């Protein structure tokens, strides 16, 4: 029944025995909230973008930790995709931000209200 | 798509037969692909080649079609698509389908010729849309599966939307949107009705019918289910749903307002196809679905439908009278004409149905030609207002000759095609009353299946017939103003300035430079086949009538059965009804 | 090889067997239809090849003369029974169970086949004969238009003859309808021949539309005939109607269902439209906008008699109805009178002739109504000749005087050089029309009036016709005394002048035709100047040439000789026309009839049907004389009298006298002592009559009345509908579109477009969702 699969299941490394799932999730939640607050309060497009990345990675951490907890590799493979996509996305987004900056000479998010109904 | 691999390897002829209808759809699509990747200069020639190839293939199909067995679906072929849902691309054509496919194929090259100089921008996109449209229209006529039918039915909208919105006149965007939303809304409801029938057939619905237990969308199967196992109220709802789409497409009276708008804004070839074939999708749908699926309900509501038709005939006709835009006039005349067409269907007897199906073809020929003529005029004068132009016979005698000819065909002059169908529709309506048999009107006749039964009658025919007078009125007034009378041309015509606001995208300077005062050989080539067809079908419609005999007799037999046996709901009759209410190939055998 | 051939083969195999035995007719009858079509094709080719000679005219004359020759051959061959020449299948439907197929009611057949009986041949004889003559006339008359217009004219002319042949020769009612509408089309095209004149276009349109009203009646009649008799082929209809005919013979009208009695009424509506009777007559006078040969052929001699033909052809059905024939008779009589009153007050000689045509057609209908189909047919024939003559004479005048038709501006033609034959033609025509004794018009009109007095209950019609005869004589000779005799005076008209001017104008625009038409162009300019001189007082009327004179002379002789058609025995029975009518479906042996046939000539003239009954197959309607016991035993007791005398004995004198009175009045008022063209003694009388002459001159304001009562309300309705369509119907549809749009505007302000707003919204949304989830799960 209790087949040991990984070192972690075997209690290794023993140096951080107290780092349970709750800790990881706490970090994840903290990162997400920081990202959210940052996104809602800051106006600079680049900062806002970084905040979204922060939230993104928070979600990634949660995924990895659950994956680790449940011994189901789907979550981790998912995160690998997310990281790749995030990289591509970062490249795209920064390019867009540069383009937007060229148009208005500003990085203020309030400048862009094209979607106003 | 996977062809049937299980079938034994057939010889070339039967392989051709098997793929005939598929090719009729695929050839225009293939040419659309070619046009998309060919240079602008060669686009129209390629498109012409494509339509001609499709036409040639249609000729082969017509020649291989067994006309003596017109009621049977021929060239049948199934391609599995989503077998788990019972959806397949299944094709087959009876003589009605075949004739309408022929009409489509005939109008194809004509439309390409008509767009030769009128379209100067984004030529490729134009012809690609056009070829896709043609493929979709053929698909509608040959579909034997509801989903395939519906997909083709809706797929006509997209190219048409592109044609109207890109190459139309000033209000083209609004017209295209109206056209799309109007017809789309209607046909979604139609889809719901059709799927409801499939749902009943699959036995998913609680109620009378146990069902087959698995999904299928084959029209033949569903027809039997719908006509045999649905109660009158179920049939009525299905009929309502079907008519929601088809009546918009026809268009019948209260839902016709998209038509004049779209016609006036569409480019010439778009109008030709719209009037020539797209409107027939509605009447074809009524003939193929509404009547055989819901015979009882259709019979029951025939007077309502006929009343709507008659209102359309008179109302559309009278509105034509006060139009100033020639194209709008012809568009409204379509409302009136299609009223006759559906009236013939509502008569539900041989004369009416024959007349109606002939009307589909004849209207496509004569009204299509009228739109061509109006388009040729517009290309020269950049206006269609009867206030600005007049007496063109002096300047364009050939054009005027064609105009008078096609107006006469449209008015229903005996000897030309319009008359035969119009007369048969009126005769059918006139006959379609039970009172002829019961002696209410002092007639000692007996009820004759396929003729004197129904709930229309002479009053309907009389009022509809007065539409003939109205038709003469508005069309001759139009001819009197535009063709005859003192010559009147828009101010500044001839000088190349001053009317850029009249037209949308066409380049006035480019086109005017090429066009002589009267029709060119290319334009005459486009008109001549239509004129010949109008004359031949007017004088010698007998081949068409006998070709249509099979399907019409079958439908009439179905209606007759429905007349004798009330729909289920009264459980005792259920089994008898189950035997009789089929639209299978041998209805008479089934009844013995 | 082609699909079409395979289709047609299929159609041939599907053709069912005919219902009744057919006596197959001579195949060359089809040539009578084919030759005018050949003419159409040749004229079209001429137009395409831009022929600028008078070739189309001569091709037409050739084709029509050949058709006439064939018709004569048909006449010589024709036997007592009708024969049917099969053409090809036109419309053929069948339905019902297999047992019932090929029987009436189970199939609808309308073929391109010809029904040839004496009535057909009679009509075809004068149609093709007159068409040939008038085509010859037109070759000269239309020579000013040589070119595409000339080709167009003769193509339509040929097409007309074809349509008329279909109408007359068709073996079913739908074929008749084909011809019926076909002649309407040709009439439309030819009235509108001068298409640059708005009035001509208007008149053409009016003719077509008013005819269509009648056509609807005919169409409904055809449908009703079909539904009741199960066929629209004449032979089947007559066979099916036989029981009713028997009932009618015995006077048992109550056995005939109302619906059968309705059929002839509907057909009569069609006939009234085509033959310009009340209330649909208004198009015919306006139709005079067309070229005069057209007026002569279509609007006087042939097409307008199609209604008479229809009634005569369907006479068995008309006899079945108690209302149809009185309706026909009264409408005819009232039209005759009404049109005559208008004709008296007109100044345009062509219009006068037009109203006289309406009036004379009224006579024919009245004749049919008072049960003398023979008289009506005879009047059709004589009228065709003398009215064509009158119109062609008017046309010659119009041609020579540049479109002048006002009788106040023309006078003394007789004394002008080269106008002798025209004057003679006018004289002969007027004498015939006025019913001058021993002219053919006299005899035919007398037959009608006499029969009206003979047939019981129709004496009022007789009195109306007699009064109209006097009026006719007056207005006819009013024209003669004003235009032909009297002091020489003329003013040129301006119609051709303006037409040419427009023509030249049009040509200068037309780049294509410019080079080709150079010569003609120059000629037109020449003409143009010529006319200008004319206004300056140097106008020279050009007298008609050989073609016009030949035709006028021929017609003069023929219209005088036409009376012989009634009197000269043909060896079979009686004169040609009565014999022919009696062998046809129009045969009717009135029990009261003892026509005014001179002893010896008409010996046994009306026994024809009884003779024929032995040889003729059963489907031929024979005499349908009422075998009312009273009538048969003592026919003369029931027969009406003319003030106590035998009508046929005294009416020769009475109607002759009435005619003389009319001519005398015209002489006194319009000839005696007249020194100018514009005025006559009649002008002094006008004030005494108050506004009546003015009203009559304005045609009793019937056009205005129709306009007010029919056209204006319809137009208003059309505008209303247009408005409704734009606002209400489209509005409703738009409303459905507007509801979502309105909802959208409600929530629109929430879309600020600011990124933070959206983000805050999302965050709030997630928070709310989480809150709900927690509340639900942690409960």
**DSSP codes, C367-379:** HHHTT-HHHHHHH
Is residue C533 classed as helix, strand or coil in its secondary structure? helix
Find out whether C375 and C448 touch, Cβ atoms under 8 Å: yes
Any residues with CB less than 8 A from the CB of C144 and at least 6 apart, and which? C496, C500
* C227, closest residue in chain B (CA to CA): B431
Strand partners, C111: C89
β B87-93/B74-82 pair status:
antiparallel
Q: What is the DSSP string of C215-232?
A: HHHHHHHHHHHHHHHS--
What is the sign, positive or negative, of the torsion defined by CA atoms of C727, C730, C736, C739? negative
List all residues of chain C from 502 to 541 with a beta carbon under 8 Å from chain B. 502, 505-506, 509-512
> Residue B502: inside a domain, yes or no?
no
Give the range with max mean pLDDT: B268-282, C11-25, C520-534, C728-742.
Answer: B268-282
Any residues with CB less than 8 A from the CB of C719 and at least 6 apart, and which? B322
The pLDDT of residue B536 is 92
d(CA B354, CA C261): 30
Is residue B121 classed as helix, strand or coil in its secondary structure? coil
Per residue in A77-112, pLDDT (tens digit) is 999 999 999 999 999 999 999 998 898 888 888 888
* Residue B204 vs residue C453, higher pLDDT: C453
d(CA A35, CA A42): 10
B444/C257 touch (CB, cutoff 8 Å), yes or no: yes
Q: What is the DSSP string of A81-113?
A: HHHHHHHHHHHHHHHHHHHHHHHHS--BGGG--
> Residue B96: inside a domain, yes or no?
yes
* Residue C615 vs residue C360, higher pLDDT: C360
Per residue in C549-603, pLDDT (tens digit) is 888 888 888 888 887 777 766 554 456 777 777 777 777 655 554 443 333 333 3
> Residue B544: inside a domain, yes or no?
yes
Is residue A6 classed as helix, strand or coil in its secondary structure? coil
Q: How many residues comprise chain A?
A: 117
Any residues with CB less than 8 A from the CB of C297 and at least 6 apart, and which? C130, C131, C134, C157, C160, C303, C388
Whether C604 has a pLDDT exceeding 70, the answer reads no
Which residues on B lie below 8 Å from C208 (Cβ)? 472, 476
The pLDDT of residue B498 is 39
- Other CB atoms within a 10 A radius of the CB of residue A76 amount to 15
> Residue B497: inside a domain, yes or no?
no
> Residue B277: inside a domain, yes or no?
yes
Q: What is the DSSP letter of C79?
A: -
Per residue in C253-291, pLDDT (tens digit) is 777 888 888 899 999 999 998 998 888 888 888 888 888
Strand partners, C91: C110
pLDDT-based confidence at C357, cuts 50/70/90? very high
**Mutating which of C745, C753, C761 best tests the A interface, going by the most A Cβ atoms within 10 A?**
C753
**Mutating which of B473, B546, B547 best tests the C interface, going by the most C Cβ atoms within 10 A?**
B546
List all residues of chain C from 208 to 237 with a beta carbon under 8 Å from chain B. 208-209, 212-213, 215-216, 219-220, 223-224, 226-228, 230
**What structural domains and CATH numbers belong to chain A?**
21-115 (1.10.287.3510)
d(CA C322, CA B258): 51
> Residue B289: inside a domain, yes or no?
yes
- Whether chain C has a CB inside 8 Å of the CB on B318: the answer is yes
C199-225: average pLDDT? 90
pTM of the predicted protein model: 0.84
Find out whether C531 and C493 touch, Cβ atoms under 8 Å: no
d(CA B573, CA B46): 59
- Structure-derived torsion over alpha carbons of residues C339, C340, C341, C347, reported in degrees to the nearest 10: 100
Nearest to C376 by CA among C445, C287, C427: C445
What is the separation of C-alpha B451 from the centre of its chain, rounded to a whole number of angstroms? 25
Is residue C623 classed as helix, strand or coil in its secondary structure? coil
> Residue B201: inside a domain, yes or no?
yes
Is residue C93 classed as helix, strand or coil in its secondary structure? strand
Whether C464 has a pLDDT exceeding 60, the answer reads yes
Whether C154 has a pLDDT exceeding 50, the answer reads yes
B451/C91 touch (CB, cutoff 8 Å), yes or no: no
B547–chain C nearest CA distance, Å: 8
Whether C136 has a pLDDT exceeding 80, the answer reads yes
Q: What is the DSSP string of B467-501?
A: HHHHHHHHHHHHHHHHTSSS-B--TT-SSS-S-GG
* Residue B591 vs residue A57, higher pLDDT: A57
Q: What is the DSSP string of C206-273?
A: HHHHHHHHHHHHHHHHHHHHHHHHS--BHHHHHHHTHHHHHHHHTT-GGGS-HHHHHHHHHHHHHHHH
- Whether chain C has a CB inside 8 Å of the CB on A48: the answer is yes
Q: How many domains does chain B have?
A: 1
Find out whether C455 and C589 touch, Cβ atoms under 8 Å: no
Q: Give the range of the structural domain holding residue B387, as residue numbers without chain letter.
A: 15-492+509-591
Whether C429 has a pLDDT exceeding 50, the answer reads yes
Cis peptide before A114 (omega within 30 of 0): no
For residue B465, give the nearest of C94, C205, C220 by CB distance.
Answer: C220
List all residues of chain C from 680 to 699 with a beta carbon under 8 Å from chain B. none
Find out whether B90 and B150 touch, Cβ atoms under 8 Å: no
The pLDDT of residue B181 is 87
- The residue with tokens 């000897």 is B415
Any residues with CB less than 8 A from the CB of C242 and at least 6 apart, and which? C618, C621
Q: What is the DSSP letter of C54?
A: S
- pLDDT tens over chain B, length 592 residues: 444 444 455 677 888 888 888 899 999 999 999 998 888 888 889 999 999 999 999 999 999 888 888 888 888 888 888 888 888 889 999 999 999 999 999 999 999 999 888 888 888 899 999 999 999 999 999 999 999 999 999 999 999 999 999 888 888 888 898 889 888 989 999 999 999 999 888 877 766 677 777 888 888 888 888 888 888 888 999 999 999 999 999 888 888 888 988 998 999 999 999 999 999 999 999 999 999 999 999 988 999 999 999 999 999 999 998 888 999 999 999 999 999 999 999 998 888 999 999 999 999 999 999 999 999 998 888 888 888 888 888 888 899 999 999 999 999 888 899 899 999 999 999 988 877 776 666 555 566 666 777 788 889 999 999 998 999 889 998 998 898 888 888 876 654 443 444 444 444 444 444 678 888 888 999 999 999 999 999 989 988 998 998 899 889 888 888 888 877 765 444 444 444 555 444 444 433 3
Which residues on B lie below 8 Å from C2 (Cβ)? 63
Average the pLDDT over each of A68-77, B132-141, C470-479, C524-533 and give the range with the smallest value: C524-533
The CA-based angle C219-B476-C267, given to 5 degrees, is 15
What is the sign, positive or negative, of the torsion defined by CA atoms of C250, C252, C253, C259? negative
B349/C106 touch (CB, cutoff 8 Å), yes or no: no
Helix or strand (DSSP H, E) at B389? none
The pLDDT of residue C333 is 92
C755/A48 touch (CB, cutoff 8 Å), yes or no: yes
- Whether chain A has a CB inside 8 Å of the CB on C710: the answer is no
> Residue B234: inside a domain, yes or no?
yes
Tokens for A101, please give them.
Answer: 């900056």
d(CA C627, CA C484): 52
Is residue C78 classed as helix, strand or coil in its secondary structure? coil
pLDDT-based confidence at C18, cuts 50/70/90? very low
Per residue in C83-112, pLDDT (tens digit) is 888 888 888 888 765 555 556 677 888 888
For residue C751, give the nearest of A39, A43, A117 by CB distance.
Answer: A117
Mean pLDDT, chain C, rounded, equals 78
Nearest to B475 by CA among B313, B326, B271: B326
d(CA B269, CA B107): 9
């Amino acid at each position: 029944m209790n087949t040991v699969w990984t070192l972690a299941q075997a209690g290794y490394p023993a140096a951080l025995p107290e780092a349970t799932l709750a800790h990881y999730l706490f970090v994840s939640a903290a990162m997400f909230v920081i990202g959210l607050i940052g996104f809602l309060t800051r106006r600079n497009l680049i900062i806002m973008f970084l905040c979204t990345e922060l939230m993104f990675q928070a979600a990634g951490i949660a995924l990895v930790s659950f994956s680790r907890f449940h011994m189901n590799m789907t979550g981790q493979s998912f995160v690998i995709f997310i990281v790749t996509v995030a990289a591509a996305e970062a490249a795209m987004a920064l390019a867009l931000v540069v383009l937007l900056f060229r148009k208005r000479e500003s990085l203020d998010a309030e400048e862009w209200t094209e979607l106003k109904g | 798509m996977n062809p049937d691999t299980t079938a034994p390897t057939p010889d070339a002829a039967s392989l051709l037969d098997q793929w005939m209808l598929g090719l009729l759809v695929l050839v225009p699509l293939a040419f659309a692909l070619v046009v998309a990747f060919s240079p602008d200069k060669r686009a129209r020639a390629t498109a012409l080649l494509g339509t001609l190839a499709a036409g040639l293939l249609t000729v082969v199909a017509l020649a291989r079609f067994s006309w003596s067995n017109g009621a049977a679906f021929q060239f049948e072929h199934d391609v599995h698509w989503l077998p788990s849902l019972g959806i397949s691309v299944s094709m087959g054509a009876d003589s009605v389908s075949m004739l309408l496919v022929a009409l489509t194929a005939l109008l194809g090259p004509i439309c390409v010729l008509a767009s030769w100089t009128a379209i100067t921008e984004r030529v490729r996109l134009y012809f690609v849309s056009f070829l896709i449209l043609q493929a979709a229209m053929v698909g509608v006529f040959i579909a034997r599966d509801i989903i395939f039918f519906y997909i083709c039915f809706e797929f006509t909208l997209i190219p048409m939307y592109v044609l109207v919105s890109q190459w139309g006149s000033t209000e083209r965007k609004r017209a295209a949107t109206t056209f799309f939303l109007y017809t789309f809304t209607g046909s979604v409801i139609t889809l719901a009705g059709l799927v409801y029938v499939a749902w009943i057939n699959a036995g998913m619905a609680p109620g009378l019918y146990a069902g087959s237990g698995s999904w299928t969308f084959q029209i033949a199967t569903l027809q039997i289910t719908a006509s045999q196992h649905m109660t009158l109220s179920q049939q009525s709802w299905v009929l309502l749903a079907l008519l929601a789409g088809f009546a918009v497409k026809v268009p019948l009276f209260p839902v016709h307002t998209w038509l004049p708008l779209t016609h006036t804004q569409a480019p010439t070839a778009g109008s030709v196809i719209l009037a020539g074939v797209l409107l027939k999708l509605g009447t074809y749908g009524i003939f193929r679905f509404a009547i055989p699926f819901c015979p009882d309900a259709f019979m029951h509501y025939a007077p309502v439908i006929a009343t709507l038709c008659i209102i359309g005939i008179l109302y559309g006709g009278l509105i034509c009278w006060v139009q100033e835009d020639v194209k709008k006039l012809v568009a409204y005349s379509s409302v009136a004409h299609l009223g006759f067409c559906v009236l013939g269907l509502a008569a539900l007897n041989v004369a009416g149905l024959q007349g109606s199906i002939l009307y589909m073809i004849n209207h496509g020929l004569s009204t299509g030609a009228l739109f061509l003529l109006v388009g040729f005029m517009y290309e020269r004068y950049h206006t269609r207002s009867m206030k600005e132009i007049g007496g063109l016979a002096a300047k364009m005698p050939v054009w005027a000759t064609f105009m008078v000819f096609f107006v006469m065909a449209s008015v229903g002059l005996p000897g030309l095609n319009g008359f035969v169908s119009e007369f048969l529709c009126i005769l059918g309506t006139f006959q379609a009353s039970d009172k002829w048999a019961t002696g209410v009107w002092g007639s000692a006749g007996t009820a004759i299946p396929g003729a004197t039964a129904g709930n229309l009658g002479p009053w309907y025919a009389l009022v509809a017939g007065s539409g003939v007078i109205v038709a003469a009125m508005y069309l001759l007034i139009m001819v009197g103003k535009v063709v005859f009378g003192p010559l009147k041309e828009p101010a500044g015509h001839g000088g190349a300035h001053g009317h850029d606001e009249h037209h949308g995208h066409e380049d006035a300077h480019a086109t005017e430079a090429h066009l002589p005062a009267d029709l060119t050989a290319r334009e005459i080539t486009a008109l001549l086949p239509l004129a010949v067809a109008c004359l031949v079908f007017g004088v010698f419609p007998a081949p068409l009538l006998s070709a249509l005999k099979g399907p019409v007799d079958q439908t009439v037999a179905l209606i007759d059965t429905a007349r004798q046996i009330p729909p289920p709901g009264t459980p005792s009759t259920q089994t008898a009804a189950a035997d009789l209410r089929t639209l299978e190939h041998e209805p008479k055998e089934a009844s013995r | 090889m082609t699909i079409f051939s395979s289709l047609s083969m299929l159609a041939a195999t599907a053709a069912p067997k005919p219902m009744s035995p057919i006596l197959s007719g001579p195949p060359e009858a089809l040539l009578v239809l084919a030759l005018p079509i050949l003419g159409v094709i040749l004229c079209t080719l001429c137009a395409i090849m831009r022929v600028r000679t008078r070739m189309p005219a001569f091709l037409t004359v050739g084709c029509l003369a050949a058709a006439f020759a064939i018709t004569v051959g048909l006449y010589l061959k024709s036997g007592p029974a009708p024969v049917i020449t099969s053409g090809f299948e036109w419309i053929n439907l069948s339905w019902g169970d297999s047992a019932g197929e090929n029987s009436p009611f189970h199939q609808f057949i309308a073929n391109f086949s010809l029904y040839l009986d004496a009535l057909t041949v009679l009509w075809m004889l004068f149609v093709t004969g007159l068409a040939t003559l008038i085509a010859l006339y037109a070759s000269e008359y239309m020579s000013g238009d040589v070119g595409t217009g000339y080709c167009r004219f003769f193509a339509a002319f040929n097409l007309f003859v074809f349509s008329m042949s279909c109408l007359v020769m068709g073996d079913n009612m739908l074929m008749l309808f084909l011809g019926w509408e076909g002649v309407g089309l040709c009439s439309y095209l030819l009235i509108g021949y001068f298409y640059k004149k708005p009035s001509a276009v208007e008149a053409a349109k009016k003719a077509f539309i008013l005819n269509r009203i009648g056509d609807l009646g005919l169409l409904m009649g055809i449908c009703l005939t079909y539904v009741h008799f199960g066929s629209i082929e004449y032979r089947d209809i007559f066979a099916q109607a036989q029981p009713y005919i028997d009932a009618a013979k015995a006077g048992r009208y109550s056995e005939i269902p109302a619906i059968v009695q309705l059929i002839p009424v509907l057909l009569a509506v069609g006939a009234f439209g085509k033959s310009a009777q009340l209330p649909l007559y208004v198009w015919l006078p306006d139709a005079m906008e067309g070229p005069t040969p057209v007026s002569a052929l279509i609007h006087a001699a042939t097409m307008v008699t199609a209604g008479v033909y229809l009634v005569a052809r369907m006479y068995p059905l008309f006899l079945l109805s108690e209302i149809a024939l009185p309706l026909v008779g009264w409408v005819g009589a009232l039209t005759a009178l009404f049109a005559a009153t208008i004709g008296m007050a007109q100044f345009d000689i062509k219009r006068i002739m037009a109203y006289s045509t309406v009036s004379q057609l009224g006579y024919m209908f009245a004749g049919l109504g008072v049960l003398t189909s023979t008289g009506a047919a005879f009047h059709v024939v004589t009228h065709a000749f003398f009215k064509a003559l009158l119109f062609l004479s008017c046309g010659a005048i119009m041609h020579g005087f540049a479109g002048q038709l006002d009788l106040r501006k023309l006078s003394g033609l007789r004394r002008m050089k080269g106008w002798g034959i025209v004057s003679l033609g006018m004289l002969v025509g007027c004498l015939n029309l006025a019913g001058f004794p021993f002219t053919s018009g006299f005899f035919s009109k007398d037959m009608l009036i006499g029969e009206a007095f003979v047939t019981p209950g129709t004496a009022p019609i007789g009195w109306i016709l007699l009064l109209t005869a006097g009026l006719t004589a007056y207005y006819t000779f009013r024209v003669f005394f004003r235009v032909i005799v009297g002091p020489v005076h003329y003013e040129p008209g301006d119609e051709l002048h303006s037409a040419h001017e427009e023509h030249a104008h049009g040509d200068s625009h037309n780049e294509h035709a410019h080079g080709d038409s150079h010569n003609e162009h120059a000629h037109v300019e020449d003409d143009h100047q010529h006319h200008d001189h004319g206004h300056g007082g140097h106008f020279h009327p050009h007298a008609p040439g050989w073609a016009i004179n030949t035709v006028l002379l021929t017609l003069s002789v023929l219209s005088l000789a036409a009376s012989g058609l009634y009197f000269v025995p043909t060896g079979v029975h009686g004169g040609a026309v009565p014999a022919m009518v009696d062998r046809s479906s129009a045969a009717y042996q009135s029990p009261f009839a003892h026509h005014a046939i001179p002893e010896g000539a008409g010996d046994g003239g009306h026994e024809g049907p009884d003779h024929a009954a032995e040889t003729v197959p059963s489907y031929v309607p024979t005499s349908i004389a009422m075998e009312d016991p009273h009538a048969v035993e003592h026919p003369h007791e029931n027969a009406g009298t003319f003030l106590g005398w035998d009508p046929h004995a005294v009416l020769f004198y009475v109607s002759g006298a009435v005619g003389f009175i009319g001519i005398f009045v015209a002489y006194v008022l319009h000839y005696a002592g007249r020194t100018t063209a514009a005025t006559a003694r009649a002008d002094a009388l006008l004030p005494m009559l108050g506004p009546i002459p003015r009203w009559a001159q304005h045609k009793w304001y019937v056009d205005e009345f129709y306009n007010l009562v029919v056209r204006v309300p319809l137009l208003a309705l059309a505008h209303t509908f247009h408005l409704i369509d734009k606002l209400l119907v489209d509005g409703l549809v738009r409303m459905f579109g507007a509801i979502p749009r309105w909802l959208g505007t409600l929530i629109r302000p929430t879309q600020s477009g600011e990124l933070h707003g959206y983000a805050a919204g999302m965050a709030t949304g997630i928070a709310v969702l989480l809150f709900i989830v927690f509340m639900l799960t942690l409960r």
